[in-house]
A and B are shown apart, each in its own frame.
Chain A
Amino acid sequence: MTAALTGHAGPATDATDEEPPRPRRWYTPYLLLLPGLAWLAVFFLVPMVALASMSLQTGSLGQGYRLTWEWANYSEALSTFGAQFGRSFLYAGAATLLCLLIGYPLAYAIAFKAGRWRNLLLILVIAPFFTSFLIRTLAWKIILSDDGWVVDTLRAVALLDDGGRLLATPAAVILGLTYNFLPFMVLPLYASLEKMDERLLEAAADLYANAFTAFRKVTWRLSLPGVVAGTLLTFIPAAGDYVNVQFLGTPNSAMVGTVIQSRFLTVLDYPTAAALSFALMVSVLVIVLVYVRRVGARDLL
């Protein structure tokens, strides 16, 4: 009886001193992963499989679709809409380059030169997101319209012919893409520049590097993760965009996003739309992989 009591009392007093080690269960980490995995399954994996299967089906909306492993959907879609595909990557590439050229100095200035204006400037970068994507693009349509002041001015200084216009040109589309995706470039660039130790530039100057060399060898190299992240965040959505080309371009200069949208929602040709979507996804993935490998930034991502 006494032995049982003390045997009981022992661990109890111990527990007040330190937590008794709880038995670790092997499945605890998986349990914690479950919500995330479920989310991925429902919102990523299932739609992906559905899309992949749809891209290999034949039939029509009236008669229903059957999975017939119709690989010709792909060759047909690509041969018909190859031009739109190429245009997508061309426009997205040009917009990404412009974003980098505008965004890098901007991010640099915010990170190093803005002082107490830093937060305000960051808010200004994000501020456009308070308005809908569509509204902002429509605004550009008004700004660039044929009787708008921009066209008037350009015509007045003879940068544009009298009949020349900005709207419905590739330039307008690229401009719109650049405008819409600029924050996606600036924010990662800012994040990588901001954490850079400015004393490294002093060290570079001390070691015979002039301002340009110091930028090339130190600042640029250290901001590469931001450059990679920013270009990917800009290029990938820009390649699939269909809003800018619809508002600012012409049907003749359609991008692949426009085609997918109209195939899905207007023509109701689901297999072709799915095949195009899948092809777009795969080609973007390939471009990203090649790009990341070329920059040598795999360990940076």
Chain B
Amino acid sequence: MPDRRSPAEGDRTSSDVRIEGVTKRFGGFTAVDDLTLTIPAGSFFALLGPSGCGKTTTLRMVAGLEQPTGGRILLGEDDVTDLRPYKRPVNTVFQSYALFPHLSIAENVAFGLRRRGVKDVSRQVDEMLELVELGGFGRRRPGQLSGGQQQRVALARALINRPRVLLLDEPLGALDLKLRRQMQLELKRIQTEVGITFVHVTHDQEEAMTMADTIAVMNAGRVEQLGGPEQLYERPASRYVANFLGQSNCLDGVVDEVGGDGTLVTVQGCRLRIPGRHGSPGARLSLGVRPEKTVAVPAGEAPGAALGNQVPGTVTDVSFTGLSTQYLVRTPWGQEISVFAQNAGGERRVAAGEQVTVAWRPEHTFPLDAAPTEVAEQSGASVLAEARS
């Protein structure tokens, strides 16, 4: 993955975790494939991807619970690749919490301190339990706490050691939705408060977007794209990212004209504009646009001057979700495009069966890698090449 660079890549001293060309194979299965990542110090970093994409394996390799097949892992300037887990200055919040059932909450939290020979732990334990809002629970056993409380004990047990990096392995996965939302904000608050680098593994894109400063979207053992939540959402670099983070409409076309004010692409006879220079005339290019960036206006009405990209179609489905109305519009060539109209009041509704024009601003269009079977021959298609790498 040589093309992806984190924003902090240039400044080596401010990076906390560097994963350099790490590969992990289980038998014949490659869980992590030549992964290179730099996690800036003090950041809230999310590894996002579906199950089986290698995110948890990556985390476990940083913790030392798995040994990489190849590559190096550095904490700051120290190579920890061959260091046993108990010698690494990192701590993990496990998905299952893995609290010691035979110890009290206070002893669970004190476990790491005691192993390092800290004598007087009670004050620190009390402070840490206060931080996770479990003051006074010290004498209970893990079995007497609810899932959310156990989760916070697991967090306190890891944080009390002031690790260089805190690893969180889907820590909110077992909680119900409401508690999960609450804990997301809580985790973010604690991270800001203690200033420790958090590496958070999750398959929940909303969770990653809510909490993380930087997100690495992983797929099949590789990083698809790395960036801030807004960047990933507004400028997804690949079809995979565009569809994993929210929804996208993808339109496959051919480059018509590359000029100073953008690139013109023909999609089934519709001429659509996209900012920037992409490829050269005749090359294939796919365009993406988010459903909430589009509007559907009845055919014959002018959508407005700014909404330069227009595609005709017929409304096939209307569903009202409260926040928005979602339309499905079938284009003449048979593709379905989603349109989300925000329910701000006053806008004109269109009905199923109506002929409409779907329109959006050219600057809301983003380029995507062409359909997987079609490999761009053009070496100049830099964005495409980057997206695919």
17 pairs, A vs B, C-beta closer than 8 Å: A199-B94, A199-B96, A202-B65, A203-B94, A203-B100, A204-B100, A205-B64, A205-B85, A206-B91, A207-B111, A207-B157, A208-B86, A208-B87, A208-B161, A209-B115, A213-B115, A218-B100
Chain A residues lying within 8 Å of B100, measured Cβ to Cβ, are 200, 203-204, 218
Contact present for B65 and A205 (CB under 8 Å): yes
- How far is the CB of B167 from the nearest CB of chain A, in Å? 8
Chain A residues lying within 8 Å of B178, measured Cβ to Cβ, are none
Answer whether A206 and B84 are a contact pair too, CB < 8 Å, given A197-B98, A221-B102.
no
What is the predominant secondary structure among interface residues of chain A facing chain B? helix
Chain B residues lying within 8 Å of A209, measured Cβ to Cβ, are 86, 111, 115
Q: Is A210 in contact with chain B by the CB < 8 A criterion? A: yes
Q: Which of B64, B101, B161 contacts A207 (CB 8 A)?
A: B161
Q: Is B138 in contact with chain A by the CB < 8 A criterion? A: no
Contact present for A222 and B85 (CB under 8 Å): no
Q: Is B70 in contact with chain A by the CB < 8 A criterion? A: no
Q: Which residue of B lies closest to A208 (CB)?
A: B115
CA distance A222 to B98 in the complex (A): 13
CA distance A170 to B134 in the complex (A): 58
Give how many A residues have a beta carbon under 8 Å from the other chain's beta carbons. 17
Contact present for A206 and B65 (CB under 8 Å): yes
Additional 15 contacts, C-beta under 8 A, given A202-B92, A203-B92, A206-B64: A199-B94, A200-B98, A202-B65, A202-B85, A202-B94, A202-B98, A203-B94, A203-B98, A205-B64, A205-B84, A205-B86, A207-B157, A208-B161, A210-B84, A210-B86
Contact present for B102 and A222 (CB under 8 Å): yes
Chain A residues lying within 8 Å of B339, measured Cβ to Cβ, are none
Q: Quick one: which of B214-255 are within 8 Å of A by CB?
A: none
Interface residue tally on B, bucketed by range: 20 to 34
Most B Cβ at <10 Å: residue of A200, A203, A205, A222: A203
Chain B residues lying within 8 Å of A222, measured Cβ to Cβ, are 101-102
Q: Is B116 in contact with chain A by the CB < 8 A criterion? A: yes
- How far is the CB of B139 from the nearest CB of chain A, in Å? 15
Q: Is B112 in contact with chain A by the CB < 8 A criterion? A: yes
Contact present for B115 and A206 (CB under 8 Å): no
Chain A residues lying within 8 Å of B87, measured Cβ to Cβ, are 208
Contact present for B91 and A207 (CB under 8 Å): yes
Contact present for A206 and B116 (CB under 8 Å): no
Chain A residues lying within 8 Å of B115, measured Cβ to Cβ, are 207-209, 213
- How far is the CB of A53 from the nearest CB of chain B, in Å? 45
Q: Which residue of A lies closest to B107 (CB)?
A: A217
Q: Which residue of A lies closest to B91 (CB)?
A: A206
Chain A residues lying within 8 Å of B92, measured Cβ to Cβ, are 202-203, 206
Chain B residues lying within 8 Å of A205, measured Cβ to Cβ, are 64-65, 84-86
Q: Quick one: which of A246-297 are within 8 Å of B by CB?
A: none
Q: Which of A197, A204, A218, A221 contacts B96 (CB 8 A)?
A: A197
Chain A residues lying within 8 Å of B37, measured Cβ to Cβ, are none
Contact present for B65 and A208 (CB under 8 Å): no
Chain A residues lying within 8 Å of B91, measured Cβ to Cβ, are 206-207
Chain A residues lying within 8 Å of B85, measured Cβ to Cβ, are 202, 205-206
- How far is the CB of B115 from the nearest CB of chain A, in Å? 4
Q: Quick one: which of A154-209 are within 8 Å of B by CB?
A: 197, 199-200, 202-209
Q: Which residue of A lies closest to B95 (CB)?
A: A199
CA distance A205 to B84 in the complex (A): 8
Q: Is B315 in contact with chain A by the CB < 8 A criterion? A: no
Q: Quick one: which of B78-100 are within 8 Å of A by CB?
A: 84-87, 90-92, 94, 96, 98-100
Chain B residues lying within 8 Å of A200, measured Cβ to Cβ, are 98, 100
- How far is the CB of A4 from the nearest CB of chain B, in Å? 53
B322-333 interface code vs A (CB 8 A; 1 in, 0 out): 000000000000
Answer whether A208 and B112 are a contact pair too, CB < 8 Å, given A202-B65, A203-B100, A222-B102.
yes
CA distance A203 to B158 in the complex (A): 10
CA distance A221 to B108 in the complex (A): 14
